[in-house]
Structure 1
């Protein structure tokens, strides 16, 4: 494999992981960002993103001389063979993806891109973006390529280095092949296609996963009404190779930085071509319903009213293993509980307490037992592994109400029962205390 000179624009979650992993594959990588303080920290090997293995990979790349960090994009791309755009594409007006940051970078670098350079969108972008960027660059010698990422927070490094597939799309075959060659050492199945199809793959995959999650949450609710057990039902489903065992865990709804944004964006894309997508609308609606359903569970466990009720909350991030609060279903359920008058004392091992987005109505503590102390119920909203290892006898001793509402089915009901606590999960029969 030939080592390439690569520039990654943006040092967020996707950009930093992309840059560090490409450097580990032997390429020479410069990651650029407009935040000078962040660049200074990264050049010192300091990584502020909570992602297993990423800090080590960054430090190894720096030590090997294959990974550098620079302020600004124009100077960084001067000798690049491939430029990856990894800047934010947040949800904009009406749910459409906001491409302002992407287009701003392209305008900044288009005159200084080396001849024959390939411009790659790694960020999730609407179908047609590669064509739009080609027009914006206005240079026939610079090809636009779509190379969507499929990284899961909490396992991004592992996902990058052990991918299910590599998807590369361009209307210029040679450019697509050059980008695909960057990953040759990984030996992953590679899909070479046109740019529009590659852009569509990311939305189609994420929206399918959102639909799968909404479906299993609906089945869990049905199990509660019929007396079936969702754990056994999903086990039976998961052995079917056509279905698989992933994304069959019921919970308080799906969230994070990708699924809410991508489902909304695909709806916008569909509407732009006069295509009605009732299935996707139902998926989104079912997700909103699920969060309200978790609130109803907690309300019922507390006797029918949450006004003035002190609740202990375990977990606020959208999933375990990350500090990400973006579109967190756990945080949304907490907000809804507070709106009904509950006094929330929360603990999350991934949070420091200064993260933006934490509501003022919530008190964050640094000990799970403090969250439980004098609470009428304990509500598990994120599936952190350490919650399973708590001293549940000690928890029972500090709660004023002996009930745990487990919205992730994360805990062992028998362990709680023996500790003198009743357990209420999702899609399963409640287990009373001994």
Structure 2
């Protein structure tokens, strides 16, 4: 098949007629499939039945330091859980605080704390005339929702396979004191599945911010979410790089086990310098008596160590890897020669990023919805839900069954073709 842009008007009109017929047939099937969020599938959740069934006896509720996990104490988490998360990220347990089940809550609290109380003695952000955040795009919609809610101005930073455009990052951070932070998903980024290069991490660590209270919000959500044992990505550890560069306080790193055990019942953590940890703990003493230590203990007893976690993640990979490969095969076979879209080919994480022809994403997502397949809203991967090119679509392969995924992908491809033909015909009429 020739690339669509090489077709003449009559060929495109005939193609549109055929595609419209296929689309009406697809709509008649009455599909109800949801690919809007990166949720673990039922098969992945069922894999955790032994975790759910774990019983901690009265004799097993004490930590290695002698604290009873049923009672108050250990505000920043039990030592064993701190070590488990530290090993997951390659840092020292001294730099870890363990929270509840959601790293998103920890990120929200971190922004709120900066707004209300300030960062290490600096002016609270709410008392400043202007606060800005850099946002690598396409990116994670829930990050953008946090900063938008607090009235923080968001600035788009283009992404490449190596990470954010560091020339732009350096320019904004080092020249504008109103720039207080940047959102980052450094490994298997949401939605592209890119991992920041060593050079990118080193450039982050070497930043010389105009604002003393500038912070890198390093959401390492997919630190151990590899799809393959033999071709996973490696991410340089940023906290130690910041220390080497003389910027020990410049990063907050976030993590959780939400897609390792249960999304609603995992454990989350923050990694930061001693000074940042001290400020966070000072606030926590007022905010909470402590988080669920029994759940922290259950995670430790279940995995035992980082090797146990990695082995467990390969079981997840066995379930979701075929889904990623199935989508890649369909996209390559159906769209590869048509030149009407491009997509990423990640080796980890939870998403595939698809770029349609400019001005087509909203219409593709809408047509999929009308035919019974719900995708992440077009524009959601950009601040304020405004994709300047109206081209990016996030594909979340994990939740549907393999059969549902095949049906949904076929429909997606059909909608991409149909909307692209319509776009080309309109351009001929202009």
* Normalised TM-score (structure 2): 0.32
Which one has more relative contact order, counting CA pairs under 8 Å at least 6 apart? 2
* Normalised TM-score (structure 1): 0.32
